[in-house]
Amino acid sequence: MDDRTLCWLALHLVFHGPSAAARRVLGRFPSVLDVFRAKPADFEGLRLENGTIEAIVSGRAVGRAGEEVEKIGRKAYTLLTLEDPRYPDYLREIYDPPFVLYCEGDAETLREAAVAVVGTRRPTPYGRAMAEKLAADLACRGLVVTSGLALGIDACAHRGALKHGRTVAVLGSGLDVPYPRENCGLAREVAGKGAVLSEFALGTPPLAEHFPIRNRVISGLSLGLVVVEAARRSGSLISARLALSQDREVMAVPGNVTSAESWGSNGLIRDGAKLVESWEDVAEALPSPWRENLLAQKSEKEENSPDSMSREERRLVSELPVDAALPIDELAEKTGLSISGLLALLLGLELKGVVIQHPGKRFQRRM
């Protein structure tokens, strides 16, 4: 690792990211290398704490960065700095881009065109289906789907994208402390077909204040941001505000007006966010040339329309809603079929990707 990379990491660790104090320091010196060659008097007027100046001039900050580099190497992670040609261009353009990014997986994924899909941690079956479908449709057309690896909509977006393409997960903790624990397996899948990303030092716990900081990276990596179900005080609304401040397109999926989980997303639409019902709506909102390239592609459904369902299967699918999940006993009552016969049909439909099974033997038609 070269000296410039080490100095960027040292600066990042000393100031805990791109703080106002860090920006004042960078404004004083010609390069990041010169920051760590300076004498105490060179920092006069920058309103820094004495301990911060001492850490820089004594070499202690660079020493700590060297220890961090060793840990990064043992984990086989990649470290990108603002000056690295692999650093994502869109993220570099925002007001406060991270000085460094810790990456597990393919760092080249970060330079591809991306759309963020975010939402509530407590989605309805409708929200889950919409997030997964949108992400799958966008990913199969070459877009990278970014999200935050949280339970709920984020996880659905990652899983949908993994079916047909690539996805990036941005953490609010150290890369070696994936959160939530329930999604550790998903994080490994994402790293295998995309990238898991963090600006936080290794070992950093998932503190509440880290997630708004994380959210600016999710939107900063992306051409636009889609909110799928968000409560009135949802963190996804913070992401939407950040996206607007970064001059990104903000979109939202409309939801049931009586559902608390849709109040935030419906409010975004009321305030001017683009209403999204399908991948085409997302494509229309993106800047050129991505908009034209995406809309020129035929939908996967047109190219590969499945007509392999039996009459019994088609009848069963017609009884399944897309915005709710029906218990198996209610489905048996509606169709007049036995539980065992239903389960056999539903298994076949799951394998064909037509039906989703939820915990408790509840089933829903994919959109």
Pairing mode, strands 78-81 and 100-105: antiparallel
Note the pLDDT of residue 308: 66
pLDDT of 301 higher than 50? no
Note the pLDDT of residue 302: 44
pLDDT of 306 higher than 80? no
pLDDT of 9 higher than 70? yes
CA–CA separation, 234 vs 365, rounded Å?
27
User: Is 143 or 307 the better-scoring residue by pLDDT?
Assistant: 143
What is the largest distance, in Å, between two alpha-carbon atoms of the chain?
85
For 186, the token pair is 């998903």
CA–CA separation, 137 vs 123, rounded Å?
20
Residue labelled with tokens 């039906």: 355
Note the pLDDT of residue 298: 55
Distance of CA 89 to the CA centre of its chain: 17
pLDDT of 303 higher than 80? no
pLDDT tens digits, one per residue of 24-78: 999 999 999 999 999 999 999 999 999 999 999 999 999 999 999 999 999 999 9
* Of the candidate ranges 79-83, 265-269, 329-333, 346-350, the one whose mean pLDDT is the lowest: 346-350
Q: What percent of the chain has pLDDT over 70?
A: 97
CA-angle at 73, arms to 218 and 94, nearest 5°: 25
